[in-house]
């Protein structure tokens, strides 16, 4: 089975990683983190969210973050956009990629965005149309595709339905997310294969959380299916505030260790990435969740 030769890593630390932090993270720290991540060679950095600050206070400084970053040529800075208000603010801040986000289950849709799946799609239909008309790219993130904290097992056909709706809206990329990190490789493969009947694998991305320690196994299964875009978070930060029990995203350092070991090109420098993780963990006052970063640091210290 041949694996992709090149992988696109989508760094979600500044957004998914920090949205869940209980204490405010200063805007300058978010900007410095983004600078360090782009210096490490990450080609896509989810910079912030233009969601309601009443729902996610940690992302309330979205416009300041966008204004503060010195954008590196060739790097993309997508932002989450839940509705027209968010899109207008994102466009005013000079964003060039909007990430719309829906859920494969009704219960999660309600908890995360206060609407049904169908109402969310109606909202996103306007968002996507306006974004595309203004030259933005639109990505579709699909939550709880592999397990829901409220509904449990998720039928791959629910993921297929959402992906096909998002395709109608003009998304260029579709993210199958394991929001609460309960998936195992067989489930991951089943969801990918179900969606790939309608949308080619080169347009699919995987976004995994590492709650049950299955993330790297799930990513390997996705590589075997031909997936070549993966979301991950530096130092394994993160979690969705509306997904009970969800821990951090898979650590970018751990994904990079896997890909480097397989000889798959990413353009990302491990030492600089670990330094970016050390920086944010230092500010947050906690150790990294990345196994690879810990092991490499221990080896260097020995």
When CB distances are held under 5 to 8 angstroms depending on the partner's kind, the choice from Mg ion, ligand HMG, none that residue 65 binds is: none
Active site residues: 240
What's the distance, Cα to Cα, between the start and end of the chain in Å? 38
What is the closest distance, in whole angstroms, from the C-beta atom of residue 265 to Mg ion in the complex? Answer: 25
Is the distance from CB of 281 to CB of 292 less than 8 angstroms?
no
When CB distances are held under 5 to 8 angstroms depending on the partner's kind, the choice from ligand HMG, Mg ion, none that residue 242 binds is: ligand HMG
By beta carbon distance, the residue nearest ligand HMG is: 86
Element (H, E) at 157: helix 156-168
The stretch among 9-17, 44-52, 82-90, 194-202 that binds Mg ion (CB under 5 A) is 9-17
* Angstrom distances, CA of residue 180 to CA of 92, 112, 130, 209, 211: 33, 13, 31, 6, 7
What is the closest distance, in whole angstroms, from the C-beta atom of residue 87 to ligand HMG in the complex? Answer: 8
Binding site for ligand HMG (CB under 6 A): 16, 19, 49-56, 80, 82-83, 85-86, 89, 101, 112-114, 141, 143, 177, 179, 207, 240, 242
Half-sphere exposure in the Cβ direction for 145 (13 Å, CA): 34
φ/ψ region of 11 (left if φ > 0, alpha if ψ in -120 to 50, else beta) reads beta
Sheet hosting strand 204-208, strand order edge to edge: 44-45, 8-11, 229-232, 204-208, 173-178, 137-143, 97-103, 79-80, 48-49
Question: CB neighbours (10 Å) of residue 196?
Answer: 18
- Residues 294, 159: Cα–Cα separation, whole Å: 35
Please provide residue 102's backbone torsions phi and psi, each rounded to the nearest 5 degrees. -125, 180
By beta-carbon proximity to Mg ion, the closer residue of 104 and 270 is: 104
- Residues 7, 41: Cα–Cα separation, whole Å: 13
By beta-carbon proximity to ligand HMG, the closer residue of 84 and 272 is: 84
By beta-carbon proximity to ligand HMG, the closer residue of 159 and 274 is: 159
What is the closest distance, in whole angstroms, from the C-beta atom of residue 71 to ligand HMG in the complex? Answer: 22
What is the closest distance, in whole angstroms, from the C-beta atom of residue 124 to ligand HMG in the complex? Answer: 10
By beta-carbon proximity to ligand HMG, the closer residue of 20 and 266 is: 20
Q: What mask, x for binding Mg ion by CB under 5 A, covers residues 14 to 53?
A: --x-------------------------------------
- Residues 99, 184: Cα–Cα separation, whole Å: 26
What is the closest distance, in whole angstroms, from the C-beta atom of residue 66 to ligand HMG in the complex? Answer: 13
- Residues 138, 136: Cα–Cα separation, whole Å: 6
11 is a site residue for Mg ion (CB under 5 A) = no
By beta-carbon proximity to ligand HMG, the closer residue of 38 and 247 is: 247
What is the closest distance, in whole angstroms, from the C-beta atom of residue 51 to ligand HMG in the complex? Answer: 3
By beta-carbon proximity to Mg ion, the closer residue of 10 and 270 is: 10
When CB distances are held under 5 to 8 angstroms depending on the partner's kind, the choice from ligand HMG, Mg ion, none that residue 274 binds is: none
Binding site for Mg ion (CB under 5 A): 16
């Amino acid at each position: 089975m041949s694996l992709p030769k090149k992988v696109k890593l989508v760094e979600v630390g500044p957004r998914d990683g920090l949205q869940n932090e209980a204490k405010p993270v200063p805007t300058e720290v978010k900007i410095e983190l983004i600078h360090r991540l782009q210096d490490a060679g990450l080609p896509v950095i989810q910079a912030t969210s233009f969601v309601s600050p009443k729902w996610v206070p940690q992302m309330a400084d979205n416009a300041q973050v966008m204004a503060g970053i010195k954008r590196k040529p060739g790097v993309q800075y997508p932002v989450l956009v839940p509705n027209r208000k968010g899109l207008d603010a994102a466009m005013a801040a000079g964003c060039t990629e909007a990430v719309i986000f829906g859920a494969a289950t009704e219960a999660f849709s309600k908890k995360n965005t206060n609407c049904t799946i169908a109402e969310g799609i109606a909202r996103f239909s306007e968002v996507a149309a306006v974004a595309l008309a203004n030259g933005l790219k639109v990505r579709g993130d699909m939550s709880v595709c592999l397990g829901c904290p409220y509904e449990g097992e998720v039928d791959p056909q629910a993921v297929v339905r959402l992906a096909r709706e998002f395709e109608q809206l003009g998304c260029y990329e579709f993210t199958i997310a394991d929001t609460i990190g309960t998936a195992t490789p067989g489930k991951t493969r089943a969801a990918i294969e179900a969606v790939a009947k309608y949308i080619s694998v080169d347009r699919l991305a995987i976004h995994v959380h590492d709650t049950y320690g299955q993330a790297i196994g799930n990513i390997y299964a996705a590589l075997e299916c031909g997936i070549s875009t993966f979301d991950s978070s530096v130092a394994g930060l993160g979690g969705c505030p509306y997904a009970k029990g969800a821990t951090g995203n898979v650590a970018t350092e751990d994904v990079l260790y896997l890909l480097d070991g397989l000889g798959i090109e990413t353009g990302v420098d491990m030492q600089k990435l670990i330094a970016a993780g050390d920086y944010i963990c230092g500010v947050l006052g906690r150790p990294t969740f990345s196994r690879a970063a810990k092991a490499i640091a221990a080896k260097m210290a020995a």
